[in-house]
Amino acid sequence: MMTAAILGASGYVGGELLRLLAGHPEIVAGRLLASSNAGQTVASIHPHLAIAYAGRTFEAIGEAPLDDCDLIFAALPQGETQKLADRLMASGARVVDLGADFRLDTAEDYARWYGEEHVRPELLGEFVYGLPEVKREAIRGAKYVAAPGCYPTAATLALRPLIEAGIAFRDGLIIDAVSGVSGAGRAASAGSHYCSVEGSMRAYGLLGHRHTAEMKMMLGGEPLFTPHLAPMSRGILATCYAKATGPCDPVAVLREAYADEPFVCVTEAVPETKWASGSNAAFVTARYDERTGMIVAVAAIDNLGKGAAGQMIQCANLMLGLGEGAGLSNCGVYP
């Protein structure tokens, strides 16, 4: 068995990592590291994991050694992995980072979209962008992987095959996407309170959401991205628009592109977030509209699954030479 340390184990993504690793045949959760919740039991923060992690407590991130682990999952807020980079790399372990610190190609892009200078720009080239459906061979055997954001994962899966097949222009892309509240993280805020969210939907991050940078990197052009917060716990639904190069069958293109993918389902029906809930699955479809000459592509994923913890484990499996689907499910929890 291989041992993983989880940095940020008390957060929503950390909890999902723990849940998935509890059923993983080859990787066990070793060090469970947290900041404000250090010293607390797993059961007190993640009561649904009380049986699987009975008696386990969170250690302080700053105090625990990391050189006794084969793998490190970093589920930390943006900017934190940069500060720990030397310590992570000195451990000798493979690293899968979910933060935005090492996703982008250049320090200039990071500064533009995240509003601060990158403190370790020399390390950007050391990390492979962790979307297996696009970067599988680069991820295999990689030492360091930067897992994508949840919104870019959905948008890229919906649009990239259409652009690469030449049936959609990369200029003028529009992505409208809806996320569950868990995407905002565990920390309480006025915008994520029950009374703010229940019975309401809102757009946010207009014209400048940080995930636009990843979409631009993976799709090209200058995509216009608008995220929305929906009154649900988990899920991403991305509705994407692209100008078609001519009459086409986008579903056929998607079927060919994802024919051998273990976690992508191309469907004639319009996907729903519930289909992917609790899984690492992605459901995609698309339509060509003769009236407007546009393609509408839709993707549904679980923001904590394929959009975060599930994708991290999928990458780790590839990095460690394990079965890509080990510990993961392509079956959602329904209803």
Q: What is the phi/psi pair of residue 127, to 5°? A: -100, 135
Q: Cβ(154)–Cβ(178) under 8 Å?
A: no
Residues 6+ away with beta carbon under 8 Å from 254:
161, 162, 266, 284, 285, 286, 297
107 within 8 A of 117, measured Cβ to Cβ: yes
Among 150, 195, 240, 315, the one annotated catalytic: 150
Residue with tokens 């946010």: 204
Residue partners of 161: CB distance under 8 A and separation at least 6: 253, 254, 256, 257, 258
> What does the alpha-carbon distance between residue 138 and residue 127 come to, in Å, rounded to a whole number?
10
259 burial type by CB count under 10 A (0-12 exposed, 13-18 middle, 19+ buried) = exposed
Q: Helices in the chain by DSSP H: which ranges?
A: 12-21, 42-45, 80-90, 107-114, 132-139, 150-164, 194-197, 212-219, 250-257, 273-276, 310-319
For the question of residue 248 being annotated catalytic, the response is no
Q: Catalytic residues, which ones?
A: 150
